[in-house]
Amino acid sequence: MSQPSQVTCHECDLLVALKPISEGQKLTCPRCRFVFTRKFPLAQEKLMAFGVSGLFFLVLSFAFPFLSFITRGSDRTIVLLDSMRSLQEFEFFSVAMLLMLTTIIIPGLVLFAVLYVLIAIKWKLRLPMLNSTAKLISYLIPWNMAEIFLIGILVSLIKITSLAQIEFGYSFYCYVLFVLCLTATLVYFDRFQLWYWIRQVEFND
Protein backbone atom coordinates (compact mmCIF):
# COMPACT_ATOMS: atom_id res chain seq x y z
CA MET A 1 0.00 0.00 0.00
CA SER A 2 1.17 3.45 -0.76
CA GLN A 3 0.75 7.00 0.37
CA PRO A 4 -2.01 8.95 -1.41
CA SER A 5 -1.16 11.04 -4.47
CA GLN A 6 -4.39 12.98 -4.30
CA VAL A 7 -6.78 13.73 -1.47
CA THR A 8 -10.43 14.69 -1.14
CA CYS A 9 -11.11 17.94 0.65
CA HIS A 10 -12.89 17.09 3.86
CA GLU A 11 -15.06 20.22 3.65
CA CYS A 12 -15.88 20.81 -0.03
CA ASP A 13 -15.16 17.43 -1.67
CA LEU A 14 -12.65 18.80 -4.21
CA LEU A 15 -9.99 16.40 -5.42
CA VAL A 16 -6.59 17.89 -4.76
CA ALA A 17 -3.33 16.55 -6.12
CA LEU A 18 -0.61 16.37 -3.50
CA LYS A 19 2.79 17.94 -3.88
CA PRO A 20 5.69 17.74 -1.47
CA ILE A 21 5.95 20.74 0.83
CA SER A 22 8.87 21.90 2.90
CA GLU A 23 8.97 22.92 6.54
CA GLY A 24 6.94 25.96 7.48
CA GLN A 25 4.59 25.59 4.52
CA LYS A 26 1.03 24.40 4.52
CA LEU A 27 -1.21 22.52 2.10
CA THR A 28 -4.63 24.07 1.59
CA CYS A 29 -7.64 23.30 -0.53
CA PRO A 30 -7.62 25.77 -3.44
CA ARG A 31 -11.39 26.10 -3.41
CA CYS A 32 -12.47 26.38 0.24
CA ARG A 33 -9.09 27.08 1.92
CA PHE A 34 -9.35 24.08 4.21
CA VAL A 35 -5.90 23.42 5.66
CA PHE A 36 -4.89 19.80 5.06
CA THR A 37 -1.56 19.94 6.76
CA ARG A 38 1.12 22.26 8.12
CA LYS A 39 4.68 21.10 8.25
CA PHE A 40 6.41 22.10 11.48
CA PRO A 41 10.07 21.42 12.14
CA LEU A 42 10.50 18.68 14.78
CA ALA A 43 6.74 18.07 14.97
CA GLN A 44 7.09 14.57 16.47
CA GLU A 45 9.44 15.74 19.20
CA LYS A 46 7.26 18.74 20.07
CA LEU A 47 4.12 16.60 20.22
CA MET A 48 5.80 14.11 22.54
CA ALA A 49 7.28 16.78 24.78
CA PHE A 50 4.01 18.66 25.21
CA GLY A 51 2.03 15.42 25.49
CA VAL A 52 4.18 14.03 28.29
CA SER A 53 4.25 17.31 30.22
CA GLY A 54 0.51 17.76 29.76
CA LEU A 55 -0.27 14.34 31.24
CA PHE A 56 2.22 15.00 34.04
CA PHE A 57 0.53 18.28 34.99
CA LEU A 58 -2.92 16.70 34.73
CA VAL A 59 -1.95 14.02 37.24
CA LEU A 60 -0.36 16.63 39.51
CA SER A 61 -3.48 18.79 39.46
CA PHE A 62 -5.31 16.10 41.44
CA ALA A 63 -2.73 16.12 44.21
CA PHE A 64 -3.02 19.57 45.79
CA PRO A 65 -5.71 22.07 46.82
CA PHE A 66 -7.32 23.76 43.84
CA LEU A 67 -8.84 26.98 45.16
CA SER A 68 -9.45 28.54 48.57
CA PHE A 69 -12.26 30.88 49.48
CA ILE A 70 -11.75 32.96 52.61
CA THR A 71 -14.40 35.24 54.06
CA ARG A 72 -14.85 36.75 57.52
CA GLY A 73 -13.40 33.99 59.62
CA SER A 74 -14.64 30.99 57.67
CA ASP A 75 -12.86 29.48 54.73
CA ARG A 76 -13.24 26.63 52.30
CA THR A 77 -10.65 24.85 50.20
CA ILE A 78 -11.59 22.65 47.27
CA VAL A 79 -9.69 20.17 45.14
CA LEU A 80 -10.19 19.77 41.40
CA LEU A 81 -12.73 16.93 41.69
CA ASP A 82 -14.86 18.86 44.20
CA SER A 83 -16.44 20.81 41.35
CA MET A 84 -17.95 17.54 40.12
CA ARG A 85 -18.62 16.16 43.60
CA SER A 86 -20.72 19.12 44.74
CA LEU A 87 -22.79 19.06 41.55
CA GLN A 88 -23.42 15.41 42.26
CA GLU A 89 -24.51 16.19 45.81
CA PHE A 90 -27.25 18.36 44.39
CA GLU A 91 -28.21 15.45 42.09
CA PHE A 92 -27.02 17.13 38.93
CA PHE A 93 -25.45 13.89 37.73
CA SER A 94 -25.65 14.72 34.05
CA VAL A 95 -23.87 18.05 34.40
CA ALA A 96 -21.30 16.50 36.75
CA MET A 97 -20.61 13.73 34.21
CA LEU A 98 -20.37 16.24 31.38
CA LEU A 99 -17.92 18.35 33.36
CA MET A 100 -15.83 15.31 34.22
CA LEU A 101 -15.78 14.07 30.62
CA THR A 102 -15.09 17.34 28.85
CA THR A 103 -12.52 18.82 31.22
CA ILE A 104 -10.57 15.80 32.50
CA ILE A 105 -11.28 12.47 30.82
CA ILE A 106 -11.40 13.53 27.16
CA PRO A 107 -8.42 15.92 27.25
CA GLY A 108 -6.44 13.31 29.19
CA LEU A 109 -7.40 10.59 26.70
CA VAL A 110 -6.40 12.82 23.77
CA LEU A 111 -2.94 13.36 25.22
CA PHE A 112 -2.59 9.68 26.07
CA ALA A 113 -3.67 8.58 22.60
CA VAL A 114 -1.34 11.06 20.89
CA LEU A 115 1.56 9.75 22.93
CA TYR A 116 0.64 6.11 22.27
CA VAL A 117 0.53 6.65 18.51
CA LEU A 118 3.71 8.70 18.51
CA ILE A 119 5.62 6.06 20.47
CA ALA A 120 4.59 3.54 17.81
CA ILE A 121 5.71 5.90 15.06
CA LYS A 122 8.98 6.96 16.63
CA TRP A 123 10.23 3.47 17.42
CA LYS A 124 8.47 1.77 14.51
CA LEU A 125 6.43 -0.52 16.76
CA ARG A 126 3.26 -2.19 15.56
CA LEU A 127 1.35 -1.58 18.77
CA PRO A 128 -2.12 -3.13 19.11
CA MET A 129 -5.11 -0.90 18.27
CA LEU A 130 -2.82 1.67 16.67
CA ASN A 131 -5.33 2.66 13.97
CA SER A 132 -8.30 2.78 16.33
CA THR A 133 -6.35 4.95 18.75
CA ALA A 134 -5.39 7.36 15.98
CA LYS A 135 -9.01 7.45 14.84
CA LEU A 136 -10.17 8.08 18.40
CA ILE A 137 -8.04 11.25 18.62
CA SER A 138 -9.94 12.91 15.77
CA TYR A 139 -13.29 11.98 17.29
CA LEU A 140 -12.38 13.24 20.76
CA ILE A 141 -10.74 16.57 19.96
CA PRO A 142 -13.99 18.53 19.32
CA TRP A 143 -15.25 17.53 22.78
CA ASN A 144 -12.27 18.80 24.72
CA MET A 145 -13.30 21.80 26.83
CA ALA A 146 -10.39 22.13 29.25
CA GLU A 147 -9.54 25.67 28.17
CA ILE A 148 -13.18 26.71 28.47
CA PHE A 149 -13.22 25.36 32.02
CA LEU A 150 -10.23 27.59 32.75
CA ILE A 151 -12.06 30.65 31.42
CA GLY A 152 -15.08 29.57 33.48
CA ILE A 153 -12.92 29.49 36.63
CA LEU A 154 -11.59 32.97 35.93
CA VAL A 155 -15.06 34.37 35.24
CA SER A 156 -16.48 32.87 38.45
CA LEU A 157 -13.56 34.26 40.44
CA ILE A 158 -14.18 37.75 39.07
CA LYS A 159 -17.82 37.32 40.07
CA ILE A 160 -16.94 36.65 43.71
CA THR A 161 -13.75 38.61 44.34
CA SER A 162 -15.81 41.38 45.96
CA LEU A 163 -17.31 38.90 48.44
CA ALA A 164 -14.19 37.21 49.65
CA GLN A 165 -10.52 36.59 49.26
CA ILE A 166 -9.54 33.90 46.78
CA GLU A 167 -6.32 31.93 46.90
CA PHE A 168 -5.03 29.71 44.13
CA GLY A 169 -3.70 26.31 45.16
CA TYR A 170 -0.86 24.43 43.45
CA SER A 171 -3.40 22.31 41.60
CA PHE A 172 -4.77 25.39 39.90
CA TYR A 173 -1.34 26.27 38.52
CA CYS A 174 -0.87 22.64 37.44
CA TYR A 175 -4.20 22.74 35.63
CA VAL A 176 -3.22 25.98 33.85
CA LEU A 177 0.04 24.37 32.71
CA PHE A 178 -1.90 21.28 31.64
CA VAL A 179 -4.20 23.42 29.49
CA LEU A 180 -1.21 25.22 27.95
CA CYS A 181 0.50 21.90 27.10
CA LEU A 182 -2.75 20.49 25.72
CA THR A 183 -3.28 23.54 23.51
CA ALA A 184 0.30 23.31 22.24
CA THR A 185 -0.21 19.61 21.49
CA LEU A 186 -3.37 20.42 19.53
CA VAL A 187 -1.54 23.12 17.56
CA TYR A 188 1.13 20.66 16.46
CA PHE A 189 -1.31 17.77 16.00
CA ASP A 190 -1.94 17.20 12.33
CA ARG A 191 -4.23 14.41 11.22
CA PHE A 192 -2.78 14.25 7.71
CA GLN A 193 0.80 14.04 8.97
CA LEU A 194 -0.10 11.52 11.67
CA TRP A 195 -1.65 9.08 9.21
CA TYR A 196 1.29 9.57 6.85
CA TRP A 197 3.60 8.46 9.65
CA ILE A 198 1.32 5.57 10.64
CA ARG A 199 1.33 4.23 7.08
CA GLN A 200 5.11 4.42 7.07
CA VAL A 201 5.14 2.18 10.14
CA GLU A 202 2.39 -0.17 9.01
CA PHE A 203 3.34 -0.78 5.41
CA ASN A 204 6.80 0.40 4.56
CA ASP A 205 9.15 -1.13 7.09
Partner 1 sequence: MIEHESSHQSKAKTALSQYQRNCELCYFQNPSDACICECCGKKLSQRKKSSLQHTIALLITSIILYIPANLLPIMYTNYLGEITESTIVGGVVTLWGQGSYPVALIIFVASVLVPIGKILALIWLCYFVKQTKKRSSEKNQQLYRVTEFIGRWSMVDVFVVAILVALIQMGNLMSVHPGEAAIAFAGLVITTMLAANTFDSKLIWQSKD
Distance, CA of 166 to chain centre: 28
> What residues numbered 29-88 form the site for partner 1, per CB under 8 A?
29-33, 36, 67, 69, 71, 74, 76, 78, 82-87
CA–CA separation, 121 and 3 (whole Å): 16
> What residues numbered 99-138 form the site for partner 1, per CB under 8 A?
99, 102-103, 131-132, 134-135, 138
- Residue closer to partner 1, measured from CB, 125 or 151: 151
From residue 163, how far is each of 35, 73, 179, 184 by CA, in Å? 47, 13, 28, 35
Candidates 127, 158, 165, 200; binder of partner 1 (CB under 8 A) is: 158
- Residue closer to partner 1, measured from CB, 53 or 146: 146
Which three-class secondary structure state does DSSP give residue 108? Answer: helix
> What residues numbered 170-199 form the site for partner 1, per CB under 8 A?
191-192, 195-196, 198-199
Stretch that binds partner 1, among 13-21, 42-50, 111-119, 177-185 (CB under 8 A): 13-21
State the nearest-atom distance from the C-beta of 46 to partner 1, in Å.
Answer: 22
State the nearest-atom distance from the C-beta of 49 to partner 1, in Å.
Answer: 25
Type of residue at 138? S
- Residue closer to partner 1, measured from CB, 6 or 41: 6
State the nearest-atom distance from the C-beta of 155 to partner 1, in Å.
Answer: 5
* CA angle, 108 then 180 then 102, to 5°: 35
From residue 205, how far is each of 10, 123, 132 by CA, in Å? 29, 11, 20
CA–CA separation, 102 and 112 (whole Å): 15
